[in-house]
Amino acid sequence: MRCKDVAQAIEQAGFPPLPDEARGHVEGCPACSSLIADFERILAVAKELPAEVEPPTRVWVALRSQLEAENIIREPATLVPVESSRWWQDYDKIIRGRMMATAGVAVLIVAAGYIQMTHKSARSPIPDEATVIPEPRVLAEPFGAAGTKLDQEEQSLGPLQAASMSGVSPVDNSLRENLATLNTFIKECRKRLQEDPNDQVARDYLSAAYQQKAEILAAMMERGRSVN
């Protein structure tokens, strides 16, 4: 066996373990043994890398808001069968692992691209009942699930906010004031959409407001962590 055969064996069979023939060659070949040693070091370092971190909730909220804003996915309506809404309720559980999350996002992006390319002007039903409600339907409140989730996060921040209030910080004040104003603005947009559910301008502003709210909550949490 020659050096290139060793490389081919690693390429095809993986590493380790090394096939017997290749091992025999490596023992007598300084270049190959050096390469193998390097690979072993890489594997050792790779095992020490920290575990993958689950993306924060705000990422999912922002993603969902954006997809809803672009009419790529829709909020389950009140007439929707129980199975459909349960899918979204279980969404968090489904996307626990990073690989599952990545795959989920990839599927959403591919679906979004396909839908936009093939259904640009006409709003025809999309074949995934889990994510899209067939027409005719009763429109539910836009971004309702995202809004509820953000409200829950805001409530959970209560003690954290209080803890960081020991010194009056202009930054914390700015975050709190902007959050309060955003909440008022969100109410205005929601009111408008209750009057005119098809007002796309209001829908866009509501989507943006939810995204900004998610970012403010993330900043508040980050500040809470950095000073506590």
Partner 1 sequence: MTVSPAVRKTFASVLFPVFGAGVLLMPLASLAAGQKVEKHFAVKGRPVVMIQNVANGRIEVKSWKNPEVVVSASQPSNKIGLDMEQAENRIDVTASVLDASAQESDLSENIQLTVPEETELQIKSQSGLIYVEQVLGDMTLESIAGDIHLKEVSGYIIVRTTGGTLVCTLCGGKLKFDSVSGSAQILQPSLTNVTLYTSFGNILFDGDFIRTGIYSMKSGRGLVEVRFAGTDSFDLNAQTTSGTVDNRAEAFLKPDSHGIRRSAAKYAKGFFGTVGNGLAKVELSSFSGTIRILKRD
Structure tokens at 92: 């968090």
Write down the least CB distance from residue 146 to partner 1, Å. Answer: 16
List residues binding partner 1 (CB under 8 A). 3-4, 7-8, 10-11, 29, 31-32, 35, 38, 41-42, 45-46, 166-171, 174-175, 177-178, 181-182, 185, 188-189, 192, 196, 198-202, 204-205, 208-209, 212, 215-216, 219, 223, 226-228
In the complex with partner 1, which residue's Cβ is closer, 61 or 182? 182
114: helix, strand or coil: helix
In the complex with partner 1, which residue's Cβ is closer, 102 or 174? 174
Beta carbons of 39 and 63 less than 8 angstroms apart: no
- Cα–Cα distance measured from residue 112 to residue 73, given in angstroms and rounded to the nearest whole number: 8
In the complex with partner 1, which residue's Cβ is closer, 92 or 177? 177
Write down the least CB distance from residue 195 to partner 1, Å. Answer: 9
Write down the least CB distance from residue 165 to partner 1, Å. Answer: 11
Write down the least CB distance from residue 200 to partner 1, Å. Answer: 6
Write down the least CB distance from residue 161 to partner 1, Å. Answer: 14
Tell me the DSSP string of 129-195: TTT-PPSS-PPPPTTHHHHHHHHHHHHHTHHHHHHTTSS--HHHHHHHHHHHHHHHHHHHHHHHHHH
Close Cβ partners of 60 (under 8 Å, ≥ 6 residues apart): 91, 92, 95
